[in-house]
Amino acid sequence: MQRKKTILITGANRGIGLALSKVLAVSGHKIIMTSRDVAKLDKKLLGISGEVVPLQMDVTNIEEIKKVVEEVKKIGPLDVIINNAGARFDSGDWHEANPQNPLLSEPDEVLKTIDVNLMGPYRVIKYFFPLLNKKDRADIINISSGMGGIVEMGPGSPGYRLSKAGLNALTANLNSTLIDTKVFVNSFCPGWVRTELGGMEATLSPEEGVQGMVWMINEEPDIRGKFLRGQTVLNF
């Protein structure tokens, strides 16, 4: 029988985060939905059925993270942390015929993207790790991107690409650290998904993009320290 889990999802008010919240809540899990603006987490307006707890949390704000940690302590141990909150502050558009030249990018834009996409998950993992289930398996899932794969690294969007490559490196680093524990750490690329970041011309719906993460949570395959798309392992 599938184990009911308590799952923390960052950036849960739209896109991948919202799709995960909907699918996992319907599966019977308790979902702690976080967003920079808690008003955007209205259960009825978002069309969510199931047990959800909306909380305000900006992954760049340590004080907000610490406040949510205290709230989650009242709920009970966490079984899954999903680092989904992300941003892209790079100038230009990586879909253009002539992608942005990283040598022309503004360092502040690159650092701002890295602060959300890499340091955000690092902060969340650091402060929520003590709340992870110590009895049964726990999962840390980092939502990455094929754009962060070193082997397939393409041009343009240096902030976004570097931040996701760094997130994959964080996954590998944590996996090495936690290899003898019951905490499984993996990165997932949802594919090209119709979200604010992916654009409406993308080939996958958010619901299609999250199936690999849902499989990892519900089926608990013996996979750790990997970068996946769906159920397929990719090269970092």
Q: Residue 91 — pLDDT band, cuts 50, 70, 90?
A: low
Q: CA–CA separation, 88 vs 157, rounded Å?
A: 8
C-alpha triplet 209, 215, 218: angle, nearest 5°:
135
Q: What is the token pair recorded at 195?
A: 């979200």
pLDDT of residue 1: 53
Instruction: Look at the block and give the residue holding tokens 């896109």.
Output: 15
Comparing 11 with 93, the larger pLDDT belongs to: 11
pLDDT of residue 196: 74
How confident is the model over 20-36, as a mean pLDDT?
96
Q: Is the dihedral of CA 178, 180, 181, 184 positive or negative?
A: positive
Instruction: Look at the block and give the residue holding tokens 């594919």.
Output: 191
Summarize pLDDT for 170-218 with one digit per residue, the tens. 999 999 999 999 999 999 999 888 887 777 787 788 899 999 999 999 9
pLDDT of residue 94: 47
Q: Residue 147 — pLDDT band, cuts 50, 70, 90?
A: very high
C-alpha triplet 202, 107, 99: angle, nearest 5°:
35
pLDDT of residue 92: 53
What is the average pLDDT score of the chain? 92
Instruction: Look at the block and give the residue holding tokens 């949510």.
Output: 68
Q: CA–CA separation, 236 vs 226, rounded Å?
A: 8
Point out which residues pair with 56 in neighbouring strands: 35
Comparing 197 with 226, the larger pLDDT belongs to: 226
Q: Is 47 left (phi over 0), alpha (psi -120 to 50) or beta?
A: left
Secondary structure in 3-state letters for 122-176: HHHHHHHHHHECCCCCEEEEEECCHHHCCCCCCCCCHHHHHHHHHHHHHHHHHHH
pLDDT of residue 200: 79
Query: What's this model's pTM, rounded to 2 decimal places?
Result: 0.93
Instruction: Look at the block and give the residue holding tokens 């949802």.
Output: 190
CB atoms under 10 Å from CB of 95, counted, come to 12
How confident is the model over 38-42, as a mean pLDDT?
90
CA 68 to chain centre: 17
Domains of the chain (ranges plus CATH)?
A: 6-234 (3.40.50.720)
pLDDT of residue 96: 47
What are phi and psi for residue 160, nearest 5 degrees?
Answer: -65, -45
Kindly give the pairing relationship between strand 232-234 and strand 30-35.
Answer: unpaired
Instruction: Please determine, for residue 93, whether its predicted confidence score (pLDDT) is greater than 60.
Output: no
